């Protein structure tokens, strides 16, 4: 997986033609992180925006109370990065390295708005720096990353207390994939959905590797083959764990137009099954982020036929129903299903107190663009789009 400089430059030039529909916000890829009900956004390199949305308050889609942070963000990396949140800290992980001494991880302390980078003292860091999604559980960050040795991925585990990359057993490894989603479900299991293999083919959405963080081993989800919905393969989609014990997959990029834009993986039974809900006028998107909050899904940024669409709110009042709504409610609805968490399981963790080096002037954060292998069609897509937008 190589992203050459020229390609990156062309993407950035093309991005400039996308009109700025909302004052101060660049559409397109962003990295997000939810810290204490504040949803943080880091934008692409053009604008160097860092902002947040306070989900303690309700709002209308027509009047989104974005708040800008004035922290200096000096972006140097130009593609996919991922985040993990630990206490008040946002870990910005990976992204294309542009200079040999780029740290792999940066940390923003959201309380004192201070940037730093962890000094990792032991073990081997991942061999690649882009195209994966981080999961945090029990004070450890899990990154499933392709290996340069073979076609298989490796689980890279950073222990935040010791700041060491922990060794893993590495048996039954799945094939390396990129542009996938990683979803933590209760019992410390991580589900890897979608993405694209190193040979450029899309992963089958019915083949879902599951990593058990407690047992350090891999298995595959047992799928209900009856009924036969298999969503099209995709990359740069989003996956959100709902309060109905489902994983909501939205959008994604595929060479073909997706027909199943929003699909639900029902994980409430040991045998998982796909459900295709009726979603009305919902349009597809890729390179976006989705978070699930109080039976609502907030979808932000990314690419869409209408790049103006920066924030979409979907309400999810029952297991299979979704409505496009214009209002986000910060209140817990009365009809919550019993006994289920309102968000992904959080860690019951050791206090995070590692040695940090202060970040030097500015910070290197990548733009969250992950263009894997499909470069040509994505460049065409962007070019078509910018032509259209200029007309
Ligand atoms: C691409 O790679 C995947 C995973 O290694 C493999 O399952 C698939 O058969 C390969 N497809 C082609 C066309 O080579
Ligand atoms: C995972 O590890 C546990 C405990 O060592 C073992 O019981 C189980 O069979 C393993 N599962 C797989 C799929 O290897
Ligand atoms: C920011 O973090 C660094 C490294 O931990 C520390 O030395 C510095 O005092 C902190 N600055 C502020 C304003 O908290
Ligand atoms: C871009 O436009 C050309 C000509 O209209 C079309 O053939 C091509 O499929 C489009 N590409 C994408 C990725 O939309």
Q: Give the mean model confidence (pLDDT) for residues 47-60.
A: 85
Atom of ligand 4 nearest to the CA of 377: 13
Distance from the alpha carbon of residue 383 to the mean position of ligand 4, in angstroms: 9
Best residue among 217, 218, 222 to mutate for probing ligand 2's pocket (most ligand atoms within 8 Å of CB) is 217
Helix (H, G, I), strand (E, B) or coil at 383: helix
Q: What tens digit of pLDDT does each residue of 132-177 get?
A: 999 999 999 999 999 888 999 999 999 999 999 999 998 999 999 9
pLDDT in tens, 363-379: 222 233 334 444 445 55
Question: Strand (E) positions, 81-237?
Answer: 82-86, 89-93, 105-109, 114-118, 134-137, 140-146, 153-159, 164-166, 177-178, 181-185, 189-193, 196-197, 209-212, 217-220
Each residue's pLDDT tens digit, 63-101: 999 888 876 665 555 456 789 999 999 998 887 666 777
State the pLDDT at residue 332: 65
Kindly report the protein residue whose alpha carbon is nearest to atom 6 of ligand 3: 358
Give how many domains the chain has, as a whole number.
1
Residue 1 CA to residue 8 CA, distance in Å, equals 13
The Cα 141–Cα 84 span in angstroms is 7
Considering the chain, what percentage of its residues have pLDDT values greater than 90? 45
Q: Which ligand is nearest to the CA of 357?
A: 3
- CA geometry: angle 19, 22, 26, nearest 5 deg: 60
Say if residues 79 and 369 touch (Cβ distance below 8 Å). Answer: yes
Q: What percent of the chain has pLDDT over 70?
A: 71
Give the pLDDT of residue 387. 63
Q: Distance from the CA of 210 to the center of ligand 2, in angstroms? A: 12
State in Å: Cα 72 to ligand 3 middle: 15
Cα 193 from Cα 214, distance rounded (Å): 20
Ligand nearest to the CA of 380: 4
Separation of 119 CA from ligand 3 center, angstroms? 14
DSSP assigned state of 175: B
CA 100 to chain CA centroid, Å, is 25
Helices vs strands, H then E, count in the chain = 2, 29
Q: What is the DSSP letter of 386?
A: H
Range of the structural domain that residue 146 is part of: 5-390
Per-residue model confidence as pLDDT tens digits over 286-311:
888 999 999 999 999 888 766 567 88
Confidence of residue 344 (pLDDT cuts 50, 70, 90): very low
Identify the CA nearest to 47 among candidates 13, 67, 74. 74
| Pocket-forming residues, ligand 3, beta carbon under 6 Å | 112, 114, 116, 356, 358
- CATH code for the domain of 294: 2.120.10.80
Mean pLDDT score, 211-215: 97
Structure confidence at residue 205 (pLDDT): 96
């Amino acid at each position: 997986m190589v992203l050459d400089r020229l390609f990156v430059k062309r993407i950035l030039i093309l991005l400039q033609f996308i009109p700025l529909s909302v004052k101060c916000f660049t559409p397109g890829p962003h990295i997000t992180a939810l810290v204490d009900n504040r949803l943080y956004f880091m934008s692409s390199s053009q604008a160097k925006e860092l902002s947040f949305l306070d989900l303690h308050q309700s709002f209308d889609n027509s009047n989104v109370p974005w708040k800008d942070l004035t922290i200096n963000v000096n972006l140097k990396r130009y593609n996919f990065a991922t985040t993990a949140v630990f206490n008040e800290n946002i870990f910005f992980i990976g992204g294309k390295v542009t200079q040999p001494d780029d740290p792999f991880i940066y940390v923003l302390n959201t309380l004192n708005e201070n940037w730093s980078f962890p000094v990792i003292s032991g073990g081997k860091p991942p061999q690649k720096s882009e195209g994966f999604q981080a999961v945090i559980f029990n004070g450890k960050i899990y990154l499933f990353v392709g290996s340069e040795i073979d076609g298989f991925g490796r689980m890279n585990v950073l222990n935040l207390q010791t700041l060491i990359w922990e060794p893993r057993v590495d048996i039954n490894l799945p094939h390396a994939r990129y542009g996938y989603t990683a979803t933590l479900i209760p019992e410390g299991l991580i589900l890897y959905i979608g993405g694209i293999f190193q040979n450029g083919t899309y992963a089958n959405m019915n083949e879902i590797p599951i990593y058990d963080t407690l047992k350090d081993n891999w298995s595959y989800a047992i799928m209900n083959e009856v009924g036969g919905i298999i969503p099209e393969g995709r990359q740069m989609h989003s996956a959100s764990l709902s309060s109905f014990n489902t994983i909501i997959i939205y959008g994604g990029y595929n060479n073909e137009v997706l027909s199943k834009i929003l699909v639900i993986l029902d994980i409430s039974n040991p045998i998982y099954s796909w459900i295709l809900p009726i979603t009305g006028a919902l349009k597809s998107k890729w390179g976006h982020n989705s978070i699930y909050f109080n039976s609502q899904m907030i979808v932000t940024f990314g690419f869409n036929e209408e790049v103006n669409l920066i924030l979409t709110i979907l309400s999810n009042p029952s297991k299979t129903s979704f409505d496009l709504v214009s209002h986000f409610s910060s209140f817990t609805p009365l009809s919550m299903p019993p006994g289920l968490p309102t968000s992904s399981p959080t860690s019951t963790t050791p206090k995070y107190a590692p040695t940090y080096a202060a970040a030097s002037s500015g910070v290197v954060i990548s733009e969250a663009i992950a263009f894997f292998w499909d470069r040509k069609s994505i460049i065409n897509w962007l070019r078509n789009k910018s032509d259209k937008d200029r007309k």
